[in-house]
Structure formats: C-alpha cells, structure tokens
Amino acid sequence: MSSKGKTFRNILRQIGLQIFLLSVTALVLFPIMWILALALDPRNIDKPLTLTLIPPGASFEAFRKVLLEPFELLCRNPADPSTCMTFIDLLKNSLITALGTSLFSVAFGATAAYAFSRFRFIGRQAGMLGFIILLMLPSTGLLAPLYVLLSQIKIAGEPLRATLGGLAIAYAASALPFSVWNLKGYFDTVPKALEEAALIDGASVTGTFFRIILPLSTPAIAVTILFSFMTGWTEFILAWAFLENPERFTLAMALRAMQGQYATPWSEFAAMSVLMSLPILILFYAMQRYIVSGLTVGAVKG
C-alpha cells in the first residue's frame, strides 16, 4: 500500500475516533444540560420530561428561592416561618457531617490499614475478608445495628444517633471498608526499607507512621477523603432515621423533602441539585492530581 493510502486511512481513523469521543461527551453532558435547563425553567412544570434544553423565559428565580427563602417543609414549628431551615443552615450541617465522615474514615481507616499491611497476626485474612463482605452490603443494611448502638450512647441526655457527630460516625462505618482496602493497598507499595531506616535512626513505630507512611500516601488519602465526603454529603436514608431535630437536617434531606407525593417543584429541585454538586466538584478539582494515582495504585495491590 502506498504512503498516500496509509495517510488517508490514518486520517479516516482519527476522524472516526474524534466523532466517537464527541458522541460520548455529548451523551455524558446531556443529563447535566437537562438539569441546568430544568433549573432555569420559570414554569416549574410538573412533568420534567416535557422540558426543552432552552426553556422559554429562562431565569435564576429557582436558585434565588433555594438560596434565600426558608424551607417550609423543614421547620421546628410549621406555623412559624422563622423556625424553618435555610440553605445556609442546611449547608453548615452537611459540611459538618461530610467533613466528620472524612475525618473518621481517614483516622480509623489509615491506622487499621497500616496494621493489616505491616503486621502479621491471627485473623488478618479473616478481617480483610470481613471488610469485603461489608463492602457488598448497602448502607441501609447497617441501619438497624447502628441505630441500636448509637442510641445506647448518651450526650447531655440525648442519644448520639440524633446528633451530627453520631450521623458522621454512622456514615464512616459504611465508608470504612473501602477506606481500609484502598489505604492498605497503597501502604503495601511503600518500601519497608524506608521504615527500617527510620527505626535505625531512632524513630518509633508511631513516628514512622506519621512522618513517613502518611506523607507518602497522600494520593490514597485524597481518594479516601473524596469518597467519604461524598458518602456524608449525599446520603439521606440514615439521616431521616437518626435525626429528630430539624435544626440538624442536611441538604440531602431537604432535597428529598422537595419530592412530594402528588407534585414536585422541579425547577427548585434541579436548582438544589446543581448547588449541592458544587462542593463535591470543588473538592474533586482540588485533589485531582492525587486521585488517579491513588485509585490505580491502591486497587492493584491488596
């Protein structure tokens, strides 16, 4: 085959590849564009399937309502609007819960993963198998035991399950198996010679863990933080079962409360969805350079 023929085939291959990639990109972006169009639609229609991607009279009214007006469905006293939760109140509760989930997952996950990675003890293989079994369980499968356990602990006469800290612990319990497996796989890739050199220089095992292992495992820790944050940010089933005081409700609970039995304000629902996704996007881009290496290395070894 002549060089011209090969060049022509390469051009056709590149064109086909670009068309395929553009099609995949359009397929991925279409739901996002649909949600944005729904949030900008002033009609607040009952049937979002009839929505057009360019809604007539598009406005930011739905975003204004979500950000500035109180949520009438989340009030301590339904007759008093001043007792209703606002977006800022819900955002604060969600941040406390999600950050608490990330903190517990990293703290307990890193120490457990280090033990499974470096030490040999009875029940080590059974413990790792147990984490796999827990990974296969949905978060709702842990609802009953977590409810009972956290109800037994009282803080100022109030059960721990009814607090944001207790909710973060419950979320961390469901995120912990992934944290242990991901961090353990990454710790296995850190050369033991570095720890042995530090021990020879007089460092303790604890000091070696904090000064050598954790700094070298930043990518895996970043992945753990991201996934744990997403767990605490988006989950609402456990929150509805545990929390009793509307002052502690989260954004995910408010989003679920918008979905009515007979009618749903879809424009406000979509606006809330867009606003809820922003913190996760910000966290993802802030940790983007660590996430790929943390997932690939941590997933290979175990």
The CATH code of the domain that includes 179 is 1.10.3720.10
* One domain, residues 15 and 124: no
* One domain, residues 180 and 286: yes
* One domain, residues 115 and 236: yes
Neighbours of 2 (CB within 10 A): 7
CB 113 within 8 A of CB 183: yes
**Nearest of 139, 290, 119, 145 to residue 219 by alpha carbon:** 290
What is the spatial distance between Cα 8 and Cα 193, in angstroms, rounded to a whole number? 54
* One domain, residues 216 and 100: yes
Phi and psi of 72, rounded to 5°? -70, -20
What is the spatial distance between Cα 219 and Cα 300, in angstroms, rounded to a whole number? 14
pTM value is 0.85
* One domain, residues 113 and 187: yes
Q: Which residues pair with 75 in a beta bridge?
A: 84
For the chain, strand residue ranges (E) read 71-75, 84-85, 154-155, 158-159
**Residue 64 included in any domain:** no
What is the spatial distance between Cα 208 and Cα 199, in angstroms, rounded to a whole number? 7
User: How many Å separate Cα 44 from the centre of its chain?
Assistant: 29
* One domain, residues 189 and 273: yes
**Residue 139 included in any domain:** yes
Burial readout 207-234 (b: 16 or more C-beta within 10 A, e: otherwise): ebbeebbbeebebbbbbbbbbbbbbbbb
What is the spatial distance between Cα 94 and Cα 280, in angstroms, rounded to a whole number? 12
Secondary structure of residue 98 in the 3-state scheme: helix
What is the spatial distance between Cα 221 and Cα 110, in angstroms, rounded to a whole number? 8
**Half-sphere exposure in the Cβ direction for 128 (13 Å, CA):** 16
Last residue of a domain, one of 59, 86, 105: 59
Digit-by-digit pLDDT tens for the chain (302 residues) are 566 667 778 888 888 899 999 999 989 888 888 888 888 888 766 666 666 777 777 888 889 999 988 887 777 777 777 778 889 999 999 999 999 999 999 999 999 999 898 888 888 888 888 888 887 888 778 888 889 999 998 888 888 888 999 999 999 988 898 899 889 888 888 888 888 888 888 888 888 888 888 888 888 899 899 999 999 999 999 999 999 888 899 999 999 888 876 778 888 889 999 999 999 999 988 888 777 665 554 444 44
**Residue 68 included in any domain:** no
**Residue 217 included in any domain:** yes
Last residue of a domain, one of 35, 59, 83: 59
* One domain, residues 261 and 151: yes
* One domain, residues 52 and 105: no
Q: Which residues pair with 154 in a beta bridge?
A: 159
What is the spatial distance between Cα 60 and Cα 202, in angstroms, rounded to a whole number? 62
* One domain, residues 157 and 46: no
* One domain, residues 10 and 137: no
* One domain, residues 14 and 99: no
Looking at this protein, which amino acid is placed at residue 295? L
Looking up tokens 């120490």, which residue turns up? 111
What is the extent of the structural domain holding 15? 3-59
151: its two tokens: 């109800």
* One domain, residues 133 and 232: yes
**Nearest of 230, 243, 83 to residue 150 by alpha carbon:** 243
How many domains are there within the chain? Answer: 2
**Residue 69 included in any domain:** no
